[in-house]
Structure 1
């Protein structure tokens, strides 16, 4: 360091002479002026180092993993780079890069006097343009030019060949070596250098060319990579000149022999090795999920939508995307490949991948909102489809969670859950009775349709023989009695039913639905029959809140997010709140056992629309089926205390294309099989019975009919 402080005037003049030989424009300047710039530049006080030189703001790829923390779903990046400590780089790689770029790296103080003299002599003798850039100076240049915040114009200016730029590099290099150790600078250089073929940093380069970690590089491989940094765009052996890459490899090996780090015979053997590349690419974005798991892209796509809504990652969507693609995050998701595999296999039994209809299915964990799977009988791909086939068999349209052109699908009688919850909350117990007729004329005004009686909404029961007559919430929910729930909606108020659905996470993506929810909820009687559009994810999340005894959690795709420094992000944890009284939720769960062949704690179930599910599953279960008008869509949602699954059959491109009633039984198999496989080996948990005040009419405490 003393030598750095005592650089004499002669060395300053020599350095300035080197600078004069570096730029054509500078060469035309009067020599005295050039030398004057050099003297002034290097004799000024030590500069204050930019913080970026100690902690480079390099763009690093973010990686997305399944819930095991090891199964890679995909990556997101603008530059394929991930930083690694020097301890995870093979010693031969460290030696090779020093031999190739700066053989006196461990001897000089940041600016190599011998190299400067050599370059100055060559520049004066034959007009060549040797730069004498040390590895430290190259690191400084790469950091200053590689700031992700720079525009392309700013980046070009940071790398242009000028006297002032070169002086700045030298002065920063000298100052940097007073602050960082040689190994710290070497590690920084290895992580920031460009090695060609889209690989930034030694870790990405090792994977790109040899499909291995940098710690496993051989001598020949390390020499090849070290030789690339001089001309990465032309010497790239994958896309450029493989012969040039081999010549550079030989040069690096010779330098290693000259410095005594490698024996001549060992270097000769490495030179004789053929170019044994094993190229691999790092997946980038959701369309690059593993080819054999093309269905994973729908979860990935929904993850990016979720990320874009998180203010912790930026003020705008663009900022959040830049953060994702440059921030080097390690994201462990809630995605369960085994559950996804089961769900995908089941929905493809309902409809083939190129069927015009779909059966999107979502799996959600109650109490956390973590999404384990999003399955649909499509490939998440931008590949071309046959003429006239918009979303099949390939699509990047989010068919499960909504977005793009998808506002959702009508979920039919599954929305009766919100009416029941609103009624229980209003003080009407489960045994609230009503003699349900085949048709009921309500006070709600309607503009048309088959359920129109003189301008009033007048729904009918689907099966008069099995539904008409005296009903309570238990058997009305189990048998899906439309007229009972129309009457119950009148009693509790349609606006309270709509508000209940919103409280449990139902989003109104369709403009007409959003307008009615905001301005016409009081008169939206048909809402109880699921005439609004929803998604399997919203529906599974709502029913999961009932399973979790009233604790609704915003659906989340992540278990953990850590930044490039290993620090946890502030976003991603469960976002939960108690939206229902615990006993109200228990009451709704008790009645929801009726549709799926289970029995309520009060032994009040008497028939259901999916009565085989309990026996097939072999554990307590609750749920609901739903059919939209004319069987345009069919829906099944089921839940245990540990898991909720929702599946909807629909035509996403033509809502007028009815799926038919027969598909409902196949959806029951979908949700039942997913629950069975996902819960295999898990303890059998029962629902907690509601208190009598929620279940039964108590004189003086509850009102009923």
Structure 2
């Protein structure tokens, strides 16, 4: 009867009268009439914004696999058609059986509320529309005052809800309101919205809910804590049966259907799953954290960090990333194998993989569990692969991986592979005249190679293969320290703490070329990726697109790339770094396809590095102690069930890189590097050594690179170039096939006079046994005084293919 009266006289008029009845106990004392109250009610603000409620955001890898879900409230929005019809019937039956008949206000319920209000209670029935309004006001509250206003027990709140409900019914269809309500309602146990509730309690989608399950969820919304089916199963089941009886009463289901649903044991139906929120439970937690940091720290996603963090956790974003699940798994398996997460020495291995030409991060792994408790063995929230402003550390000295930047700077100045210096072959040397970028002269610098053995830096090729400190010290002096620094910066390398390489606090130092600066693996890998791409630098990229469903837009994130060095310089560096696999510091670490790489070990083996690349994938590996590498060096440690007296770049980082790259490149096409430009085949502007000043004209282009060729092919090529060939009877172990050329001495590219002798050494193959004399080591530096790395470098007789190089002394 009351609903019929409302239809005749208009919902607005009846609502006004009802509101007056509600309000009179509060205002009657000051003489305000019911008519005035009703008029005032209709003049109240009524335009309610109904933005989508907060929902969870999802981070995906490049193939669509879920990396993590991030949210403040566990909610997933779905359309009404994706909600089981029995769920819709159940919620209407128990909460507002006249929902499709009234105009936003349950007149009968409101009359009853008025009577209870007159009796001293402000409690009363609300329509689904009113409940939806209340939830919208709560979810859209921006501050504590608005939150309290939306939930206060008062006549004023009831009046606001009633007025908004009337207007909402004119603007939205009934199905739209029902959909909004079922998406915004709280069902208990942290589940918001019917889709998340169905998944959380029953392990299924809302579209698949059966009658008994739907009735259980519908019964929970009135008192979600009391009827929490996980904690209070018996109470929840009793409430379910009340819902089923109500559905029978209003004709939504039959008594037989209700009886069958009641027979179901709720405890047996439950399939509770705890939602994974954040990066901690992710299988790729440190990459997940990097993505979160990228969004929260980037101004393109919001005016301030607080706003960006809220957007991430409430907007239901679909974040598509660059991570390759297979490459990530390969990297994680390798770092865990060689440096287990809970090793008692507390060392850590960190590795990153980047695609040349795009900057896209394909893998980001470290031998730690992700968590906030640094006191737990093997747990950290610091991402050691990246810089401090993206959740990383303040960096680690990178050792001889920095020598590649000196090579690039030298080639850019036109110096050739045969560039040599007087004193670069000595076991130690003193460099004077280095200047910082302000023109200031640095103090003399004395450094050493390994032991008393000469470094063997007779050319750029030999110096690179042997990672000869004395050679690179002279090269840096010749090229200019500031030019080497600028080359590193041009390739995107910067200190992990955000400081520049040459500032009042961290002034440029002599040993820059030996990797004395603290950087992250990400910066080293990305610089090497620039060589791999042919000189095109790309900003490291983790996100390709963000779909913002609430805003109805997709943010596409393109690679930011530009040419930083010429193709010739990039090809020249790649040629030189390929030589390290041919009897150099990375011998035995090949991956079965063309690759270029450099080891790095800091002063006193404080930290060890390996950086390398193919034309389509670059990676760098760091191993050290996050407590302070200088105080906890890589000496006398047990890792992965093996004891290491001293760890060098080729000892642990090299095998990690090797195993990772073998797996990670399996599905990538095999590509070769471009040939070394002929303009670099000669000598450079450095002081010539004795070999270059011998009698006779120098052969243009220097010693041909015949490594990997058959004996006959190699001899023919060398003789055609004008050299006398001596094939050694002693074979050496190498990655080259048995019987082919493993190495030549002097090195390829060395400029010699016509008629000079070139020694050729044939290979036993990687499984063969080399001559006992073929066991020379090398070292390269890090610390302000130098760095060192050691590899299984073969040598022969008095003409070592790769001479022993450097463990330098710290600068005084």
> 1:481 is matched with which residue: 463, 468, 479?
468
**Structure 1 counterpart of 2:651, from 665, 684, 688:** 665
SS in 2 for 1:664: coil
- Please state how far the C-alpha of 1:82 moved relative to its aligned partner: 2.0
Deviation of 1:677 after TM superposition, in Å, equals 0.6
Choose the corresponding residue for 2:598, options 613, 624, 641. Answer: 624
**Residue in structure 1 matching 2:589, options 602, 613, 617:** 613
**Structure 1: tracts of 5 or more residues without a match:** 21-25, 387-391, 447-453, 598-606
Cα displacement (A) at 1:580: 1.7
Q: Partner of 2:520 in structure 1?
A: 535
Deviation at 1:567, TM superposition (A): 4.7
Looking at structure 2, the residues matched to 520 and 230 of structure 1 have their Cα atoms a distance apart, in angstroms, of 62
Question: Are residues 566 and 697 of structure 1, via their aligned partners in 2, closer, same or farther at CA, if it must alter by over 3 Å?
Answer: farther
Deviation of residue 684 (structure 1)? Answer: 0.8
Q: Indicate if the aligned counterparts of 2:585 and 2:650 stay in contact, CA closer than 8 A.
A: no
Q: Decide whether the 8 Å contact of 1:381 with 1:394 is kept in 2.
A: yes
Q: Distance in 1 between matches of 2:42 and 2:145?
A: 30
Q: Which residue of 2 is the match for residue 603 of structure 1?
A: none
Of 177, 193, 213, which residue of structure 1 is paired with 2:185?
193
Equivalent of 1:12 in 16, 39, 42: 16
Shift of 1:311: 0.8
1:680 to 666, 669, 691: 666
Displacement of 1:583: 2.2
Deviation at 1:341, TM superposition (A): 2.3
Bigger mean CA deviation after superposition, 328-337 or 643-652? 328-337
Measured after TM superposition, the shift of residue 458 of structure 1 is: 2.3
SS in 2 for 1:265: helix
Please identify which structure carries the higher helix content.
Answer: 1
Deviation for aligned residue 1:455: 4.5
Could you say which residue in structure 2 is the equivalent of 1:229?
221
Residue 233 to residue 10, structure 1, CA distance change in 2 (3 Å)? same
| Cα distance change of structure 1 residues 445 and 202 upon mapping to structure 2, 3 Å threshold | same
- Choose which of 97, 110, 121 in structure 1 pairs with 2:104: 110
Length-normalised TM-score, structure 2: 0.75
> SS at the partner of 1:609?
coil
Query: What is the correspondence of 1:90-239 to structure 2 with a 5 Å cutoff?
Result: 90-120=84-114, 129=122, 131-147=124-140, 150-239=142-231
Offset, 1:663: 6.3
Query: Alpha carbon RMSD of aligned pairs, Å?
Result: 3.1
Aligned pairs (5 A) from 1:432-451:
432-435=419-422, 436-438=424-426, 439-444=428-433
Structure 1 residues 516 and 552 mapped into 2: Cα distance closer, same or farther (>3 Å)? closer
Instruction: Specify the alignment match of 1:692 in structure 2.
Output: 678
Distance 1:11 1:329, change over 3 A: closer
TM-fit CA distance, 1:681: 3.0
State whether residues 495 and 522 of structure 1, in contact with CA within 8 Å, keep that contact through their aligned partners in structure 2.
no
Who is 2:478 aligned against? 491
Aligned to 1:76: 70
- From the CA coordinates, give the structure whose radius of gyration is larger: 2
CA displacement 1:265-299 (0-9 Å, x = unmatched): 1111112211232211221222232xxx4xx2222
Residue 350 of structure 1 contacts residue 663 of structure 1 at CA under 8 Å; is this kept in 2? Answer: no
Give yes or no for contact 1:584–1:690 (8 Å, CA) kept in 2.
no
SS in 1 for 2:562: strand
Which whole-Å deviations, capped at 9, do the CAs of 1:24-80 have from their partners, x for residues lacking one?
xx55854963734541234438x5623x22xx252222112233213x322221111
SS at match of 1:593: helix
What is the aligned partner in structure 2 of residue 318 from structure 1? 306
1:686 deviates by 0.9
The 1:14/1:347 distance shift into structure 2, 3 A limit, reads closer
Aligned pairs (5 A) from 1:124-523:
129=122, 131-147=124-140, 150-239=142-231, 241-275=232-266, 276-289=269-282, 293=283, 296-355=284-343, 356-382=346-372, 385=375, 392-403=377-388, 406-435=393-422, 436-438=424-426, 439-444=428-433, 455-462=443-450, 467-472=455-460, 474-510=461-497, 514=499, 516-519=501-504
**Quick check: 1:41–1:167 contact (8 Å CA) kept in 2?**
no
SS, match of residue 502 in structure 2: helix
Shift of 1:233: 2.6
Deviates more, 1:529-538 or 1:269-278: 269-278
Post-superposition Cα deviations, 1:313-336, rounded to whole Å, max 9, x if no partner, equal: 223322221221122111122223
- Write the deviation string for residues 450-491 of structure 1: whole angstroms up to 9, x where unpaired: xxxx9411222337757325212x332222122222112112
Q: Quick check: which one's strand share is greater?
A: 2
Partner Cα separation in structure 1 for residue 611 and residue 380 of structure 2: 25
Q: CA 1:61–1:683 in structure 2 vs 1: closer, same or farther (change >3 Å)?
A: same
- Give the Cα separation in 2 of the matches to 1:29 and 1:80: 45
Shift of 1:678: 1.1
Q: Is the 8 A contact 1:312 1:570 kept in 2?
A: no
Shift in CA distance, 469/130, structure 1 to aligned 2, threshold 3 Å: closer
Cross-structure match for 2:560: 575
The correspondence for 2:623, drawn from 629, 636, 649, is 649
Instruction: List alignment gaps of at least 5 residues for structure 2.
Output: 436-441, 635-645, 686-700, 702-749, 752-812
Q: Give the whole-Å Cα distance in 1 for the aligned partners of 2:398 and 2:9.
A: 77
Matched residue SS, 2:549: coil
